[in-house]
Every structure is written in structure tokens, then in C-alpha cells.
Amino acid sequence: MNYLSTRDETRTPATFTDILLGGLAPDGGLYLPESYPELSTQTLDSWRGLDYPDLAAEILKLFIDDIPADDIEAIAHRAYTHPKFASPEIVPVTELGEGLYIGHLSEGPTAAFKDMAMQLLGELFEYELARRGETLNILGATSGDTGSSAEYAMRGRDGIRVFMLTPAGRMTPFQQAQMFGLDDPNIFNIALDGVFDDCQDVVKAVSSDASFKSQHKIGAVNSINWARLMAQIVYYVNCYLKVTDSSEEKVSFSVPTGNFGDICAGHIARQMGLPIDKLIVATNENDVLDEFFRTGSYRPRGSAETHKTSSPSMDISRASNFERFVHDLLGRDPQRTADLFGVKIKQGGFLVDAAELSRATEDFGFLSGSSTHADRLATIRDIQERFGYLADPHTADGLKVAQAVREEYGVETPIICLETALPVKFAETIEEALGAAPEMPERFAGIMDQDRHVADLPNDAGAVKDFISTSINKTEV
């Protein structure tokens, strides 16, 4: 299994472990498999009954041929364990009613779906670094959940430091407490004066400096890293197998998304042959992706146009994973992908033609919708009253859009909404919706009382580079 950059006209292949530690390709593109492995109905049926770690190992082996199979199985079993994940199932699936299901992705140590990929990434990084005798300095950006998931997955690991950029004042108190409460010597929190997209731009700017990246051994855990998406494919297959009795049946997925990483994994699973009917993109008021799937216009927005909402992890106006899907939509044309994402984006965006937009829906199964603060409050109340399930604001976006799209397009297959996080992470919105804050799970007792460890920096790549250099010189891993 080889990997190619979305922008590489020479089509120079790389192996899995070549791209694992780096993230962004040298040409600025994102890595994808040279071709997607195929899932037959026989293979899917043979996987029914596997527990989550064994299922993960089977899927990982389809994408990794430069790590021994026995080691992949051991890595998967270390990543997905109970009680590190609160449920022995790792990802339970429950039926709400009326054809709606919840895929519970929030059972991990930080109560967010990002744990599903990060716990695996931590194991893969530590394994490969030990094999090479190297160290890695991870640079990432978070709008709320990626950062804490990455830090909890990497804390205390040999050979790894984490530098995580956050938008100052734009995460919930619980999210800040989870991250800034960590005092591990290999964890560095940075509050940047800007929004998430500014943080993401700084990560890309630093990663694009080939000399700095090489000298300081900079790696990535954001969803630009292929291994993140690979790990996320597993829970699509897991949820599908739990909802169906036969691999001839189809299901749809509704996915709250801002960065297009979570649903991009669903796109890849569908391309592999997982019987997915529709992939429903659920956005909040930052509806850049909904606008694309309805009009064909992809128009990223600046900081001033990025709304601060009650589903803050989706307050994103430049979806870094969208390039992977568009690359597939364009027939894997690297020259055109490089033009759209390397040139046109800087000029304000791009427009695909009517035939290509139609393919996004007809050939790739995408539908979309958006949600507002009022929609979130109403959905949280409605779902709680009708089904007894308490949704966090992002999952509420997914549920609202799932129901709206079903009505608008007549979707008849069961819809699995992928849960984003536990409600406790967004207590203010839950209290506004229901009149009472959600209960604090016992495993998070006292989290709000911890001391905070964070550096405030300006929105400047040079300042971040200086901080990284100084911190590396001061600490050993």
C-alpha cells in the first residue's frame, strides 16, 4: 500500500511509515492511498462479532504493509481498552427511534470523538519512533477537542513533545480545563490571539518551512495526518455492522463537521465498498461546507466572518480535509487540485461545475444542511423528551440536520448520527436548553479546580517557532 500527495503530478509514492510522522506532504498536499482497498460483503460478514480492537486491526492491515501484522494487532489492542474507554464495547450504538441511531464516540479519556483516532496515533507514534530511535515534536491546532485528545494520548510517551495551538477565549471552560490543567513536561499549550483558522494557518506555515520542520522534527496530529482518518474508518464499519443484520443492507450517516475530517473517513469507507447510502454533512452557522454541497461554491472565510457559536468545535471556515474529497471528485487530478487549493483558495475560493456538483451527490452520496443556536436548543430538548438521550450541541447539529435532510430528500435508510462529545463539555448550552446543567461524570471530578499551564502568544508563525525552539532546548523527552 503506497500513498500519494493530492498535489503531486509526479505521483511519487510513499509508504505508511514514511507519512505517519510528517502529516502534510512537502508540496502542501495531503496524502491518500494510491487506491482504496475493497470491502466485499463476504469480508464484512466475516467481521461480524469481532470486538473493536480486532476489527480495528483487520482494517489497519489493509492500509499498512510496513509494520508486521502481529505488531498492528498489539497496537490496536493497546489503543482500545476498557476502562480507558468507559464502555467495554469502545463504540456502542443505540437506537433512538424513527430510524435514528447514535454512534457513541465519546467513551474515551477526554469524552470526545477525537479520542478514537488519537489513542491509536499515540501508539503508532511511540512504536515507530522507538523503531527508528528518533524523537518527534507534534504541532497541532484545536478548536476544542483535538487538543485535549492529542495531549491525553501523548502525555508521558517516550520521544514525543506536543505543542498545541488554541484560539484564545474560544473554547468552553471544560475544554480549557482539560488541556491547560495538564502539567506534563512534554505538553505545551499555546493560546493564540485569533480564531481556530488562524491557529491552523500557523501550523501550516510552520510545517511548510522545510528547514525548520526538519531541524526540529515537526510532526502533525491534526486530521491532515492520514493515520487519523484511517483510524476513523474503523468506527464507520463498527457502527454499520451493529445496525445491520446483512451486508446487503445500507445505512446513512449524519456527521457534525467543520474540518471535514470525520466525514472524510466516511467518504473513504464508502469508496471502499461499505454500504453507505448518504453521507450527511451537518454544519453550524459557519456553513462553508453546506454552501458548497448546495451551490458548488467553496468560499473559505476569514476570522472576521467566522461566527463564535454554541457548537465551538465546528467554528471553522477553512476545512483542511476538504482537499482529499475534492481530489477524488476531480478524478484524482493533482494539477487541478494544486490549482484549486494552492492558488484559488488564496484568491477567495473556487466553483465546481454543475456536473461535478451533481457527482458529489449522485456518485459520492453527499447531502448537507446547517443548524443555528436556536436549532440546537430545540433539538437538545426534543431529543431528550422523546428519546431520553442528552445530546451535546454538536451532536444536536447532526441530529437536526439528519431529520431535515430526511424530510427534504426523502432518505429512507437508517441514519446513524455520530456523537461528537459528552454534554458535560458544553454545560452552559445544555443548561440554556434544559434549565439544568448536565451531571459531571465521576471520572472528571475536580477537573475545573486544577491550575492552568498555558502560554499566550500573538497570531504569528515566527513567535510560535521561537517558542518551540526555546522549549525544545529546555526539555528532554
Active site residues: 114
Cell numbers at 47, concatenated: 467481521
Residues 33 and 46: their CA atoms lie apart, in Å, by 24
The C-alpha R_g of the chain, in whole angstroms, comes to 21
Amino acid found at 133: G
Beta bridge partners of 331: none
Length of the chain: 477
Look-up: residue for cell 484524482?
332
- The DSSP bridge pattern shows strands 415-418 and 160-167 to be unpaired
At 280, which helix (H) or strand (E)?
Answer: strand 276-283
- Supply φ then ψ for residue 434, to 5 degrees: -115, -10
Which positions ≥6 away from 131 have C-beta within 8 Å?
Answer: none
Beta bridge partners of 252: 415
**115-132 vs 145-154: helix axis angle to the nearest 10?**
40
Residues 47 and 43: their CA atoms lie apart, in Å, by 6
Beta bridge partners of 163: 139, 188
- The DSSP bridge pattern shows strands 350-351 and 297-298 to be antiparallel
Based on the number of CB atoms within 10 Å of its own CB, is 70 exposed (0-12), middle (13-18) or buried (19 or more)?
exposed
Cell numbers at 239, concatenated: 457502527
Give me the sign of the Cα torsion angle 236, 237, 243, 248: positive
